[in-house]
Every structure is written in C-alpha cells, then in structure tokens.
C-alpha cells in the first residue's frame, strides 16, 4: 500500500471492527490513539501489521489505574513515520489480554515484563515467565498496592511481625 | 553427541555487566539460546513514582551508565510533553550537543571493550584514552564524568562555560584524526575480520519482526533513524547522514558505529557554530514549582500554582546510541509521575539473541554478543 | 553412676544413659583407655602450634608484603561504577602500576571489588563468588550502592549495602567514585593489610 495515510487507515479500522475499536482523541507526539476490546486485539494487530504497515511493535506496557488495568501498545510504521498507540483495558482481578507474539515476535519479552511487573496474563504467550524478578517472587511491583519503604523501616516491621 | 545446556554468566569475562546466557550446544554448535537478565533490576520505574519530576533525572543517568545524558533527554522530552512545557532553543542545542558527544563516547567505549574481547589489546587503551577527552568536556560543563544530572524540565541546568566551544572543537579535530586510525587497526587485522565477517547474521525482516533497533537494524540495511524519520529536538535543522550498511553481521555493526561516530563529529561542529552565534537563556521561565526547579530569583514569582495543574501524557522516542529508546510518562496533576515506563533497546536486542546465535559456535558468542553493545543497566532498569 | 563427682568422660556416659536408657553401657576399661591416651593429641597440638607459629612469624611478613603489593581483583562489572573501574585500568589512570591486575576467575583473586548495585537476585551468585575465592581475601564496596543501597535503597529488589552479605574492609563513597578514589581505596586496603588490620 503506497497511498496509505492515517486519514484512510483509522476509518478503515473503525468500519471493519465496528464498536470493538474506538478512536480516541490523539496527542501531538503519536499518530493516533485507538482503544481496542481485548477479544479482538489479535485481529486488529494482524490488520495493522498487514494492511497498516505497522511492522514494528516498539513497546508493550501497562498502567495500573486501580479500577482497571490498561495495557498499551506502541506500533511504528515505516511508511507513516510515527507511532500508533493501542490501549486495551482489563479487569484488575485476574487481568488478562491476548498475546500478540504471533504477529510481532518482538512483543515476547515486553509481555513477559508486563506480566512480571503488573501481573497481566497474556493468553497464548509461548513462554510466560518472569523476566526481571527471580522466579518465585510473589508480588507484581508496579501495582499501586505495592509500596516502597526505607530498608530500616522494613527491618523494624519485620521485627514486630 | 548429546546436547547440553551451558551457562555463560552471570559473572563471565564476556558479559560486561551481569546477565546470564544459557546456550544449548551440540558439540560446539549452538542449537538453542535462552538469555536471562534481571540481575541488575533496580526498580527504577517504581522509584520514579516516588520522586519529583526533576529528581527522576538522577535515576535516568544511572539507567544507562554509558549513555546517561541520552536517557536524561528521553525522560525530559516525555515529561515536557506530559507537563506541556517548551524549552528555549539554546537549551535544545546544548542538549543535542550532549547527545552527540555521548554517542561518540558510548561508541568509543563499545569499540574499546569489543575489540579487546575479540583479541586486540591496543584498541582498549586507545579507546579509553580518547573517551576520557570527551568525559573531560562533559565534566567542564556538567561537573561529572558519567552521572550528570544536567537536564531539567524546561531546559538544562546551566550553559556551557566560556571557551568551551574552542576546547570542544579541538577534541573534535583530534577525533577526526583518530577515527581513521581506529578503523585501520581493525581492518588490517586478520583476527578481527575472521571473527566478525559473516558471524551473527540477523536478516532485515527478522530484525524488524523481532523489534531489534539501532546499529543492528541499520547494519542489516534498514534505513531507519529516528533522528531523521521522527525528528525531535533540533535535529531537523542539522545536516547529517544516516549510517547504513548492507551486511547484517558483526562486521556490519562495527562499520555502522564507525560511520555514526564520524557523523556525530559533524553534528557537534554544527551545534558549536550555532552556540557561538546565539546566546540566550537555557531554562524556560514558566515552569511549575513542583517539578523541583531551583528556587526563583527574587521578584520573579511567576510559577504556576501546584494544585489543579493540567493532567497529561507524554511519549517520547529517540535514537539512543544502542537503539530506539522510548519513555512514557503519565502526569496526574501531582508532584510525582503517576507512571513512568521506559523502553530499552538493549532489552529487545537481547531478547532476539536466539535468532542470531543459533548455528554458530560457542567461541563466536563473545564476538556476537559484544556486537550487540549490551548495557545491562538499561535492559534491566 | 553418679554424675556429680566423676571425670568429664564419665559424665558424658551418664548423660547418654539418662537420655537413652536402651543404649548399652560403655565398659569402664575403654573409658580408662581413652583417658590414658588423652595427652597425645594435646602434645601434638602444642607441637604443631609451635611450629606453625614459628613458621608464621618467619613467613607472614613475606606473604603480607607479597599479598598487599599484588592484589588481584575479580574482573566483573555490576553497574555504573564498573565503568569507572574499567577507566581506572585504562590508559589515563593505569591501575596496574600498583600491582592491581583484574583477573577473570575468582580462584585467582584475593580482592572482590563490588562495583555497583547488588540485587537480591544476584546475592546468591555474589556469595558463591566470594566463597570460591581462596583465603586470604578482602572486599571493597565501591560506590554508594554497594555501601548502602545508594539511590536505589528503597527499591524492592536491591540489597541495601553489600555488607549484609559479605564482610567488607574498605568503603569508597561516591556515585560513581572517580577512578582516583577507587585507586585510593585500594591503597588504603594495602595499608590496612600492612598494619594487619584487615
Ligand atoms: S553508586 Fe551510583 S554510580 Fe555506582 S552503581 Fe550505584 S548508582 Fe551507579
């Protein structure tokens, strides 16, 4: 697709997936922000990869908003020279979204890291292990319920338990 | 012969920084690889949520310790988006100057460490000596050799000192002479050529699908450089070429880095000329107090009130010496970032290591992994 | 058998009898034999002790002199401070003029310079490396992270100070310490060794 522009891509996305995608107001440093329902994520990803020239999955990350967890994808397109932001919302208890590793292999470790740090399960991920923290660690540190303390404070606490 | 797993690391002379490469070998041949990182995970993203905006800069220096100022700017660009602040132009030029000096020093450091691993000792001494010249320049205007804490939301901490541009030009002249010499050392060495040519091949399509960026990607022939393709700061006003090479192996990566060093010298010269011509402030005036700027001069209390400051999100991407780095900052109108996410290029480049290790021999591993230019602080954060 | 007014050996036997009545009683003759030979190990120990002390007195200054002038640190890099560590052995500072040569295997080293942040994930490996080093050995905590956690002391994954894991002889402050500071730390350790305080 040589004549691909954002003005044609986003409506095409909306018309194809109907109410499952929502184009949110964009910010100036990204091409656009698209909210996707978790169930259709892989299809949307496949569409963007094949038809939208978003061949490079730059970043998968997550934000804990307490009421829900938001998983973010930043995709780079060589033709459009910019990043598209996909956001997926999921429940804070047992959060899970489908894995996009079948579309972009590069998402593999990003998803592992998001599982490690936020506890989001990626269904269909080939090898969902912790990547930064040791295996067997019990917490997901980037959750807002996980707090940091001075080490002395922790020692005092441990003594009183 | 039966296959077996070998651990290389965490402490291994090949690994600069601590990470563990588990390789499955059949005799000498590598059939599978499973890198394990996290030995330097310091919880930077979590600590950011407990720090004021300007205090985070301290952590960014330590994130990638061979390219500290690149990460400072990355974070600052995202934070400025999130807080909606614009720095003055001179600050941008000082930033770009720091960027390119840092790229130069990072690549020289890579050259020193890598070629020594391959078996030539001289480049280590050459590289460390010349890197110290750049660190001296840094020291003269930031006060530190590696951990600068130089950038601020809305500009930079201070201007370059008097006479700096001339000193910097002298160092650049020195590098003009040195860089061909660096290449001569390697290109005339049969050991170096034998150990790098055709080793560690990762084709362009695999690179793109694996998310590999930086010199590795450009060595595979993909012409992508965020400085040109998604311009940030004042890069559009500068004149430079993107280094691309069409050999996706260790030798190609070495070539790309060598070319990038020359381009950095070129950019630094242009920036120095601009700095000579255009004096001005280097810190924006309207910066909310809560980001932690130094207290205002008397009679200049024009700071925005802290409460009810607009919320926002900031995203920035830049071409760091190792590849494409990204930062994502969420500002919830509070003193601290609500969430700070960093994308490290090295993290992804290590993740793809299975694709460029399988099929080579165990003795090639130092040559291959060295050519990735691994900075563990950055991949583990 | 009464426990209060007999020799040490007999008391042990009583003790065994009290706790485990099923245990057969040790014949008295055997106890006698053990007691009669007790002096042999004592003499042996005294003799070896004297020889050892004599040899020590003769050789210790030599070993001390040799050891302190050729401290071989382990060549590893933990974090940012490792870059300054490398710079300290580069062209400008040339740490090797003090006889300090980084070695790659812990078996060849007698100095562990902890040059960076130690995480809990790494702590087992650090202790293993430390235990693999032959005696006598020393440790230097280089930088604020190794000293007390540095900027990351509140983080969930960082050991707040490497002295929680291994005994440290010299602490070097700085974030990162300059190469001069690192070399100064090594020289201070040399002085401590000379004065037999480390
Ligand atoms: S003391 Fe500072 S420079 Fe050294 S490892 Fe810690 S953070 Fe890095």
Query: Which chains have 3 or more CB–CB distances shorter than 8 Å to chain B?
Result: A, C
* A31-35, B164-168, B236-240, B285-289: range with lowest mean pLDDT: B285-289
For the stretch A105-122, pLDDT in tens is 888 888 888 888 888 888
Best mutation site among C116, C149, C161 for ligand 1, i.e. most ligand atoms within 8 A of its Cβ? C116
Q: Do B146 and C84 touch (CB under 8 A)?
A: yes
Nearest residue on chain A to B341, alpha-carbon basis:
A61
The helix (H) or strand (E) run that includes residue C83 is: helix C80-88
Any A CB within 8 A of B80 CB:
no
In the A/B pair of chains, how many CB contacts fall below 8 A? 90
CA distance linking residue A91 with residue B189, whole number of Å: 59
User: What is the mean pLDDT of the segment spanning B351-377?
Assistant: 84
Model pLDDT, residue B16: 66
C151 and C61, same structural domain? no
Nearest CA in chain B to A29: B315
Which of A158 and C45 is assigned the larger pLDDT? Answer: C45
Cβ atoms within 10 Å of B197's Cβ, excluding its own:
13
Distances (CA, A) of B14 to B19, B119, C103: 10, 12, 13
- Asked if residue B283 lies in contact with residue B152, where contact means CB atoms within 8 angstroms, the answer is yes
ipTM: 0.82
d(C-alpha B212, C-alpha B351), whole Å:
9
Which ranges in A53-150 belong to alpha helices (H)? 107-118
Residue B208, CB-side half-sphere exposure with 13 Å CA sphere? 17
First-to-final CA distance of chain C: 51
Could you give the 3-state DSSP secondary structure of residue B374? coil
Are residue C36 and residue C93 in the same domain, yes or no? Answer: no
Last-in-domain residue among C13, C40, C67 = C67
Helix%, strand%, coil% for chain C, nearest 5 = 55, 10, 35
Contact B42 C178 (CB under 8 A): no
Length of chain B: 381
Cβ pair A131:B212 closer than 8 A: no
How remote is the CA of residue C151 from the centroid of ligand 1, in Å?
8
The distance from CA B83 to its chain's CA centroid, rounded to whole angstroms, is 24
pLDDT at B381: 80
* pLDDT at B122 > cutoff 70: yes
Q: B–C: how many Cβ contacts below 8 A?
A: 102
Residue B33 is inside which H or E element, if any? strand B29-36
Which residue has the least CA distance to atom 2 on ligand 1? Answer: C175
CA distance B64 to B135: 15
Ligand 1 site, residue C80, Cβ cutoff 6 A: yes
Q: Are residues C175 and C147 in the same domain?
A: yes
* CB-CB neighbors (< 8 A) of B16 in chain C: 77, 82
Report the separation in Å between the CA atom of B117 and the middle of ligand 1, taken as the mean of its atom positions. Answer: 25
Please report, in tens digits, the pLDDT of each residue of chain C (198 residues total): 444 444 444 444 444 445 555 555 655 555 565 566 677 878 888 888 888 888 888 888 888 888 788 888 888 888 888 888 888 887 788 888 888 888 888 888 888 888 888 888 888 888 888 888 888 888 898 888 888 888 888 888 888 888 888 888 889 988 888 888 988 988 888 888 888 766
Ligand 1 site, residue C173, Cβ cutoff 6 A = no
Q: Do residues C37 and C78 both lie within one domain?
A: no
Same domain, C56 and C127: no
* B17/C78 Cα distance (integer angstroms): 5
Nearest CA to ligand 1 atom 3: C176
Closest CA relative to residue B322, chosen from B44, B65, B25, B150: B65
Q: For chain C, how many structural domains are there in total? A: 2
C164 and C103 in a common domain? yes
Tens of pLDDT, residue by residue over B59-82, are: 888 888 888 888 888 888 888 887
- Determine the residue of chain A that is closest to C122 in CA distance: A134
Q: Say if B354 is an interface residue toward chain A (CB within 8 Å).
A: no
Looking at the structure, do residues C81 and C166 belong to the same domain, yes or no? yes
Query: Coil, helix or strand for B4?
Result: strand
Whether C141 is in a domain gets the answer yes
Q: Can you list the domains of chain B with their CATH numbers?
A: 44-346 (1.10.645.10)
Q: Is residue C182 part of a domain?
A: yes
Residue A140: closest CA among chain C residues belongs to which residue? C156
Whole-angstrom CA distances from A7 to A14, A23, A24, A34 are: 12, 12, 14, 13
Helix (H) or strand (E) holding C114: strand C111-114
- What are the backbone angles phi and psi of residue C137, rounded to the nearest 5°? -140, 155
Q: Indicate if C90 and C132 belong to the same structural domain.
A: yes
From CA B150, how far away is CA B158, in angstroms rounded?
A: 8
Is C119 within the bounds of a domain?
Answer: yes
| Cα B174 from Cα B177, distance rounded (Å) | 5
Q: Under CATH, domain A6-160 is a member of which superfamily?
A: NADH:ubiquinone oxidoreductase Nqo5 subunit (3.30.460.80)
Residues B279-293: pLDDT tens digits? 877 777 766 655 654
Q: Are residues C94 and C147 in the same domain?
A: yes
Q: What is the Å distance from ligand 1's center to B157 Cα?
A: 21
Mean pLDDT to the nearest integer, B196-223: 84
For the stretch C65-122, pLDDT in tens is 887 888 888 888 888 888 888 888 877 888 888 888 888 888 888 888 888 888 888 8
Judged by CB atoms closer than 8 Å, whether chains meet at B343 and A30 is answered as no
- Tell me the β-bridge partners of C172: C142
Which residues on C lie below 8 Å from B62 (Cβ)? 79-80, 151-152
What's the CA gap between B138 and B67, in Å, rounded?
12
Counted residue by residue, chain C has a size of 198
Are the C-beta atoms of C113 and C84 separated by less than 8 Å? no
Q: Give the pLDDT mean for B113-130.
A: 84
Residue keyed to tokens 């590849």: B323
- Reported as a pLDDT band with limits 50, 70 and 90, residue B252 is confident
Please classify residue B205 by burial: count the beta carbons closer than 10 Å to its beta carbon, then call 0-12 exposed, 13-18 middle and 19+ buried: exposed
All chains having 3 or more CB pairs closer than 8 angstroms to chain C: A, B
Give the number of the atom of ligand 1 that is nearest the alpha carbon of residue C174.
Answer: 1
In this structure, are strands C138-142 and C111-114 parallel, antiparallel, or unpaired?
Answer: parallel
Cβ of C116 closer than 6 Å to ligand 1, yes or no, is yes
Would the CB atoms of B42 and C75 count as touching at under 8 Å? no
Q: Is residue C54 part of a domain?
A: yes
In order, the DSSP letters of C46-57 are HHHHHHHHHHHH
Question: Which domain does C63 fall in, by range?
Answer: 28-67
Q: Are residues C99 and C187 in the same domain?
A: yes
**C85 and C167 co-located in one domain:** yes
pTM: 0.82
**Which one of C49, C67, C85 terminates a domain?**
C67
pLDDT at B301 over 70: no
Residues C115 and C139 placed together within one structural domain of the fold: yes
B372 pLDDT band, cuts 50/70/90, is confident
């Amino acid at each position: 697709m040589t004549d691909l522009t954002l003005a044609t891509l986003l409506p095409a996305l909306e018309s194809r997936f109907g109410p499952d995608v929502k184009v949110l107001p964009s910010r100036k440093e990204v091409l656009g922000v698209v909210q996707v329902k978790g169930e259709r994520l892989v299809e949307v990803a496949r569409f963007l990869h094949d038809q939208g020239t978003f061949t490079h999955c730059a970043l998968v990350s997550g934000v804990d908003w307490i009421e829900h967890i938001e998983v973010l994808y930043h995709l780079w397109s060589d033709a459009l020279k910019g990043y598209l932001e996909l956001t997926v919302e999921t429940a804070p208890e047992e959060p899970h979204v489908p894995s996009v590793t079948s579309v972009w292999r590069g998402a593999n470790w990003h998803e592992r890291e998001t599982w490690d740090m936020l506890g989001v399960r990626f269904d269909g991920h080939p090898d969902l292990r912790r990547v930064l923290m040791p295996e067997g660690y019990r917490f997901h540190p980037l959750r807002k319920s996980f707090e940091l303390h001075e080490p002395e404070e922790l020692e005092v606490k441990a003594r009183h338990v | 012969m039966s296959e077996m797993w070998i651990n290389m690391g965490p402490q291994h002379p090949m690994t600069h920084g601590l990470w563990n490469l588990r390789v499955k070998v059949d005799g000498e041949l590598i059939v599978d690889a499973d890198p394990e990182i996290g030995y330097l995970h310091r919880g930077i993203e979590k600590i950011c949520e407990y720090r004021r905006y300007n205090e985070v800069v301290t952590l960014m220096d330590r994130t990638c310790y061979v390219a500290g100022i690149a990460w400072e700017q990355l974070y600052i660009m995202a934070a400025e988006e999130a807080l909606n602040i614009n720095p003055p132009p001179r600050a941008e030029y000082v930033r770009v100057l720091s960027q390119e000096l840092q790229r130069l020093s990072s690549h020289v450091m890579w050259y020193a460490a890598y070629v020594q691993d391959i078996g030539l000792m001289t480049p280590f001494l050459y590289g460390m000596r010349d890197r110290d010249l750049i660190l001296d320049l840094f020291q003269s205007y930031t006060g530190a050799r590696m951990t600068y804490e130089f950038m601020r939301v809305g500009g930079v901490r201070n201007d370059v000192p008097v006479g700096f541009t001339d000193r910097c030009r002298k160092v650049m002249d020195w590098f003009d002479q040195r860089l061909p010499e660096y290449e001569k050392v390697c290109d005339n060495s049969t050991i170096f050529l034998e150990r790098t040519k055709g080793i560690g091949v990762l084709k362009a399509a695999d690179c793109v699908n694996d998310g590999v960026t930086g010199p590795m990607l450009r060595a595979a022939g993909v012409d992508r450089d965020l400085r040109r393709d998604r311009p940030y700061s004042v890069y559009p006003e500068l004149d430079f070429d993107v280094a691309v090479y069409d050999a996706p192996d260790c030798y190609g990566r070495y070539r790309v880095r060598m070319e990038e060093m020359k381009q950095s010298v070129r950019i630094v010269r242009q920036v120095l000329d601009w700095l000579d011509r255009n004096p001005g402030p280097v810190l924006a005036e309207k910066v909310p107090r809560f980001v932690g700027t130094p207290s205002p001069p008397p009679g200049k209390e024009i700071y925005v009130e802290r409460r009810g400051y607009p919320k926002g999100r900031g995203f920035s991407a830049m071409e760091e010496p190792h590849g494409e780095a990204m930062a994502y900052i969420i500002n919830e109108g509070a003193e601290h970032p609500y969430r700070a996410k960093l994308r490290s290029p090295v993290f992804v480049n290590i993740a793809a290591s299975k694709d460029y290790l399988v099929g080579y021999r165990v003795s090639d591993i130092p040559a291959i992994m060295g050519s990735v230019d691994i900075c563990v602080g950055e991949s583990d954060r | 058998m009464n426990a209060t007014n007999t020799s040490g050996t007999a008391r042990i036997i009583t003790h065994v009898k009290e706790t485990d009545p099923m245990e057969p009683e040790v014949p008295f003759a055997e106890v006698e034999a053990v007691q009669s030979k007790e002096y042999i190990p004592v003499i042996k120990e005294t003799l070896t002790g004297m020889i050892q002390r004599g040899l020590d007195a003769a050789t210790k200054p030599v070993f001390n002199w040799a050891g302190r002038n050729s401290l071989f640190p382990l060549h590893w890099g933990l974090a940012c401070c490792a870059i300054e560590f490398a710079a300290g052995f580069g062209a400008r500072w040339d740490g090797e003029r003090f006889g300090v040569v980084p070695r790659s295997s812990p078996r060849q080293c007698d100095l562990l310079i902890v040059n960076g942040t130690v995480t809990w994930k790494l702590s087992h490996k650090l202790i293993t490396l430390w235990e693999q080093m032959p005696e006598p050995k020393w440790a230097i905590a280089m930088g604020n992270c190794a000293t007390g956690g540095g900027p990351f002391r509140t983080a969930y994954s960082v050991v707040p100070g490497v002295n929680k894991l291994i005994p440290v002889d010299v602490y070097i402050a700085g974030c990162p310490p300059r190469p001069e500071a690192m070399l100064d730390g090594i020289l201070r350790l040399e002085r401590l060794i000379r004065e037999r305080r480390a």
